[in-house]
Structure 1
Amino acid sequence: MTAGPGARLLRSPTSSGRATFLELFFDLAFVVALTRVSQRFAELSDDTGWALVAGFGRTLLLFLALWLIWSHTAWITSRYEPEQAVIQAVVVGTMFAGLVLAVTLPRGMEERALPFAVAYLSVMVVRPLVVAVALRGHPRRLVPFRLAAWAVASAPLWLAGALGPDRIRLPLWAAALAVDYLAWALGWPLPWLGASAVNRWRIAGMHLADRHQQMILIALGESILVIGMVFGGADYSAERAAAFAVAFTTSALLWRLYFYRAGLLLTEALDRAGMPGKLGTASERTHLLIVLSVLVTGVGYEMVIDHPYGPPRPSWLLFVVGGPVLFLLARMRLEYEIFGRVARSLLIGTVVLLLFTPALFHWTPMVALSVVAVVLAVVALLDARRSRRRPLEVSAPPVGRETSGDRDFEA
């Protein structure tokens, strides 16, 4: 590693692996943002057909933009020393931009498109330039320069979508976001410089695992907030009280299924992986799906508590059943990343929910949510039964099995 003034920004071996209080403070902006995402999803409850698909796609795009900013921040504080003033300034600045995104998000695809795009681009372009300047000639400065260059390349699409007619906003922003995600997947390649080997990055595995686990808890907390606010604001009835109880039980089961035991062993898996950057990249995408599934399921809670025994609406199943199905699929992916296999109980639960879905088109929302809760409970019980009287499993991540002796790590 080349020494120099910029080297002080790099995480040292003695740096704490736990998330800092500043990062937890930073997450507050994303609590607000995730709540706004849920609100946009909830507005789709009466839509059908193309209107439902387009509305879901617009909200999903806004969520993916938020996730890219949050996940980049998590990687920054996993690779650089979060106690350094420059990194703290970067985190605080990103938090402010995150609040702007949260405020504009409810109408972020409509009349507030420009401030949303400007806040997003200010993070994607300015933040890596600040880090690059702070690194002062250190070889790692090329990575943030790559990020800034690709963000500048996608900026015209973001701005054209924000300033142009509403009808072209979704395709332009979808293309811009595809560029941003593709650049990350490819390592932000540039002429003559090539790509950054993200899979070989040095990262603080404990820290990155902490950040992902905390985001899962934030998403679950947002769903609990939805349950409490909807039930507290509605006229009390025994039917709504029953829906409230089932919704809470479902959230508790999602928590149990995530943390036992794959989510709990994420830190160990990153420590055991020969190439933690590779496993961290895969895990980040998995946690994106898990957070999205929890948000979508939370919207289903709101619909069921409001009208537990109302007429069945096919669009509601996208949230009431679709969210848990996506959760189980993502949880299977996490299981493979941690243990190198997939639990049969998760597969059974997914298949059962998919088989029940056609029948649930003809039943009330309360019945659909109850079926989901029962299936998740059975999955949790099967997991517990399989582990009973057996030694606790240790992680055996198949992702990034190369050892440090086989590959050189990129700083």
Structure 2
Amino acid sequence: MSSEILSVLEYMEKEKGIGRADMISAIVNAIKTAALKGVSAGQELKIEINPKNGQLHAWTLLRVVDSVSDPRTEIHVEKAQAFTPGVLLGEFVEKELDPSTLGRIAAQTARQAVMQKLRQFEKDRIYDDFKDTVGNIVTGTVRRKERNDIFIDLGKAEAVLPGKEQVPGEEYQPGDRIRCLLLSIDSTPRGPELMLTRASPKFVRRLFEVEVGEIADGTVKIEAFAREPGYRTKIAVTSTDPKVDPVGACVGARGARVKTIVRELNGEKIDIINYFADPKQMVIEALKPAAPREIILDEKTHRILLKVATEDLAIAIGRKGQNARLTSRLIGWRLDIEEFHAVSTDPRTVAVDVLVKTFGLDADLAGRLVAIGINSPAAFEGVGADDLVDAGFTSDEAASIISSVGGAQ
């Protein structure tokens, strides 16, 4: 048994990193518990394992008495003095036992203790190895897919990329290399479970921190962030150094930095803009190249009404409203976009609008009135139905106009 124990101790120490002292303590406690439930029930045992050679020694502790009533826990004083000279009544002596007398159950229990210790160590090791990696990017190999979840081998442990944390359109096969963000370490009945993400905005943020040195050292700061995984990401940046262009730093020479990130995201579009505390400036910056014609802010409801020209409407809203949604998240305001209708400055059109609004006239009749010089409410002074008939209006039209003008006045 000593050789078996020694081989277990050496294996655990070299391959699993579990110290001999920890393994010995687990084995001793397991054997003692099993023995006391079996052949050594009622006895008090002492068990030791030599860490160098794996040799197991066991003793039973017996109380010295002059009249033995329970031989499992007591020993007569004369017998006690035979192997422990000078021992006195009431004291305890250690009587060595043959380890084999502890029984087969004790040996099996020792084996179970080793396995249990190994499982517990694996759980603790996973947590200890990865607790400081939460929020960082990890690289692994795709192992398998179960339902919508992808299981990834990180070398020291297996992690899971849930379906909800995957990017739409991305497909991975067993053996593929993959980079993800370690989102959290969740406690489960099976032990700690490593949860990964590629869909979270935190993943893209961390990619920028890794790729852009100015973000890592704090010179450039990401002030606002919005993402629709697989489609588009918008980030707003500032610089603490007036000599450093925050957008240029993120883009890199000839776009090298942002291209690296876009490749990692399989072509996801990334918009990098300057950050402004003023929401009006932010919305103008975020919607480029679309140029708002009119911006109306409602501070109370935190809403922005944006009016853009017809040719810019599709750009501002984006595919399936994507650009508008991202801009809204980026600035933190509800965004409403509608088509801009310019107010005409053509004198004839203005005059027609005035007559229509003032007297409720039909636009066609108002246009004909303007054509004969009646281009304002004041111009109706002294005009009668006969004058309008002479100007080409029918009797009914003239009567209707005079009636409308008279009613409004």
TM over 0.5, shorter chain? no
Pair member with larger Rg: 2
TM-score class, shorter-chain normalisation, is: under 0.3
Q: Which has the higher helix share?
A: 1
TM-score (norm 2): 0.19
Q: Which has the higher strand share?
A: 2
TM-score (norm 1): 0.19
